[in-house]
């Protein structure tokens, strides 16, 4: 009971829009400490951080200890909690049902909010592919005495999940991603779940990848706030949101359309392309380029000089190693 009250109090502070996000790391770390103390889970396995990860047909499922580390990316964690809270309020229903895919061993985007909301306002269905994470969460749920009607956890691959007919989610929340929507299965999983629950609100609401041409000396040699002025914006190559997912309804295969970008005629020898990710979690709760591990700038593998003055045609690959690539 004491932990529930503490979690609710930390969430209350996090939701205070007058407190800037960068001041809230202590609250996030305190939430993590409580969750880890209630979990039956080794967050520092002797075998290393990758121990227990698994490769699926649609991307890497990172290990339970690595998933727990995501909590420390506090700007991400705060904006997801704030965005999800707003989305729950906006449902304007007595009881809101949230499906949270890829919940990790701590369920950090669900459990603290569940403790904060008045009992019965929100119910969560959690799922993760790793048995260790599901067992850890069940331990936390039991320790917090959270009733089954408010939270259940299933161990399965999101790509085979079918919601019980009596419990269709109002909100679908996924955080199975990395910068550039690379490596992990966010795109495939969002598409799969939204086909099943087209009426549901998707969180994150939108993820965009912009292509920029940079001079590495400026990009890696300057301070954060000076870098932006030197980047040349070439355009948004890929967006993941409900409307775009709808537009893929008739597509088959392992490739999704992306926008090509025009490479300027004047390209210098050292110039390189970077993928810059930005995320709208929900309704103005944004994670901007460089604010989180999920939005860090990534070098895009391509010989830009050979495309100078031409269109660089791109597509998004839905393989075991998803991400943008150059079309031949």
Q: Which residues bind ligand SAM (CB under 6 A)?
A: 56, 61-62, 67, 70-71, 102-104, 108-109, 127-130, 133, 157-159, 175-176, 184-185
The CA–CA distances, whole Å, from 252 to 51, 120, 186, 202, 257 equal 34, 40, 17, 22, 11
Given the complex with ligand SAM, which of 150 and 159 has the nearer CB atom?
Answer: 159
Output b/e per residue, 25-36; b: 16+ Cβ within 10 A.
eebbeebbebbb
Given the complex with ligand SAM, which of 308 and 320 has the nearer CB atom?
Answer: 320
Residue 20 Cβ, how far from ligand SAM at the closest point, in Å? 21
Residue 130 Cβ, how far from ligand SAM at the closest point, in Å? 5
Given the complex with ligand SAM, which of 28 and 261 has the nearer CB atom?
Answer: 28
Given the complex with ligand SAM, which of 67 and 314 has the nearer CB atom?
Answer: 67
The CA–CA distances, whole Å, from 196 to 104, 161, 314 equal 22, 10, 28
Residue with tokens 């550039």: 180
Q: How many Cα atoms sit within 13 Å of 230 on the Cβ side? A: 18
Given the complex with ligand SAM, which of 15 and 326 has the nearer CB atom?
Answer: 15
Residue 16 Cβ, how far from ligand SAM at the closest point, in Å? 21
Q: Quick one: 54 exposed, middle or buried, by C-beta within 10 A (0-12, 13-18, 19+)?
A: exposed
Q: 145 CB contacts (<8 Å, ≥6 apart)? A: 1, 4
**Residue 192: strand, helix, or coil:** helix
Q: Which residue is nearest to ligand SAM (CB)?
A: 102
Given the complex with ligand SAM, which of 176 and 211 has the nearer CB atom?
Answer: 176
Query: Residue 265 has which token pair?
Result: 């005629």
Residue 285 Cβ, how far from ligand SAM at the closest point, in Å? 14
Rounded Cα distance, 278 and 290, in Å: 8
Residue 19 Cβ, how far from ligand SAM at the closest point, in Å? 21
Residue 93 Cβ, how far from ligand SAM at the closest point, in Å? 24
């Amino acid at each position: 009971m004491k932990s529930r009250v503490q979690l609710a109090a930390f969430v209350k502070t996090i939701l205070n829009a007058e407190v800037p996000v960068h001041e809230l790391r202590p609250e996030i770390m305190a939430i993590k400490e409580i969750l880890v103390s209630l979990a039956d889970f080794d967050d520092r396995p002797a075998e290393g951080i990758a121990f227990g990860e698994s490769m699926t047909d649609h991307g890497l499922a990172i290990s339970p200890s690595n998933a727990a580390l995501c909590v420390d990316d506090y700007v991400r964690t705060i904006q997801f909690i704030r965005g999800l809270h707003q989305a729950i309020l906006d449902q304007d229903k007595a009881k809101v049902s949230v499906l949270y895919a890829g919940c990790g061993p701590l369920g950090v985007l669900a459990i603290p909010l569940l403790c904060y909301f008045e009992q019965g306002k929100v119910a969560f269905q959690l799922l993760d592919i790793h048995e260790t994470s599901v067992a850890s969460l069940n331990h936390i749920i039991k320790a917090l005495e959270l009733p089954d009607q408010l939270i259940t956890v299933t161990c399965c691959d999101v790509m085979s999940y079918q919601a019980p007919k009596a419990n269709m989610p109002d909100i679908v929340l996924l955080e199975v991603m990395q910068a550039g929507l690379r490596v992990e299965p966010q795109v495939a999983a969002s598409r799969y779940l939204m086909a099943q629950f087209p009426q549901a609100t998707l969180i994150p609401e939108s993820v965009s990848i912009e292509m920029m041409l940079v001079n590495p000396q400026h990009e890696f040699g300057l301070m954060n706030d000076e870098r932006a002025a030197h980047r040349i914006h070439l355009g948004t190559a890929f967006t993941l949101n409900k409307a775009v997912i709808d537009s893929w309804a008739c597509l088959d295969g392992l490739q999704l359309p992306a926008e090509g970008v025009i490479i300027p005629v004047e390209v210098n020898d050292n110039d390189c392309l970077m993928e810059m990710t930005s995320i709208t979690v929900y309704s103005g709760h944004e994670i901007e380029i460089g604010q989180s591990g999920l939005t860090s700038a990534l070098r895009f593998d391509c010989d830009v000089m050979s495309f100078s003055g031409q269109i660089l045609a791109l597509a998004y690959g839905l393989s075991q190693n998803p991400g943008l690539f150059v079309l031949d």
